Chains A and B, each alone.
Chain A
C-alpha cells in the first residue's frame, strides 16, 4: 500500500484552517491509520490514531477523519506552533508505511 499526501506544501496564516490529505492506493482499515507531526530537529510526535482519535495532550483543534482510501487531518485554527511537517502512517500487509509528508508553512 502506498500513501500519497497532498498537498506537498501548504502555505497558510495563523488563525486559518488547514486541511491535509492522505490517500491510500487501496482501501485500508481506519484502525491502522495514524498522523504524526514533526518540527525541525525534533522527533515525530503522535497526533491522531485510529484515523480519528486524538493522542494524549493533543489540542482539540486537531481532528482526523476518513475511511477507505481517503483520510484527512484538519487543524481548525492554526497556531504558530502548528507549522511543521505532517506524516500519515499505515500498518498493513506491507507492514509499516509512511506518506511522504506535507510541509505546513507560514504564509
Chain B
C-alpha cells in the first residue's frame, strides 16, 4: 500500500536551516509529482511546493519562495524540503502528498502523517 513517511522536523532557531524528508513506498515514486503542504498550529492547510516527477519543474508558494527548495531522489524514493532562513511563521506541521491527475480530476490522493517544525529562539 502507498506510504509516505516524513521526518526531520524539530525545534530550530530563527534564521537557521532544516531539511525535511519524505520516504515513499508502495508505488512507483518516479512516476508522480509530489507536494509539500503545511499547517500552522490551529490553522488551515497551506500549499508549499511541488516538484515534477522528473524534477523538470518546481513551483513554490510566495511565502517560501527563495528560502525553501524542494527536491527528490527517485533512486531512493525520497522527497526533500530544504528550509533556509526560517522564521517564526514557518512553524507548522509539514506534510508530503502525492499528486494525482487523470480524466476524472486532479487531487492530492495520499498524504504522510506530518512532521512538526517549530521555529523559536
- Contact across chains for B111 and A96 when beta carbons are under 8 A apart: no
**In the assembled complex, which residues on chain A have CB atoms less than 8 Å from the CB atom of B44?**
87, 98-101
Docked CA distance A37–B37 (Å): 15
**A34-B105 contact, Cβ under 8 Å, with A43-B113, A95-B59:** yes
From the candidates B47, B95, B104, name the one contacting A97 in the complex (CB within 8 A).
B47
Q: How far is the CB of A79 from chain B (nearest CB, A)?
A: 22
Interface SS, B side: strand
**In the assembled complex, which residues on chain B have CB atoms less than 8 Å from the CB atom of A36?**
45, 108
The B64-121 residues at the A interface (CB cut-off 8 A) are 95, 100, 104-114
List the interface of chain B (C-beta within 8 A of A).
Answer: 35, 37, 44-47, 50, 59, 61, 95, 100, 104-114
List the interface of chain A (C-beta within 8 A of B).
Answer: 30-34, 36, 38, 42-46, 49-51, 53, 55, 87, 89, 91, 95-101
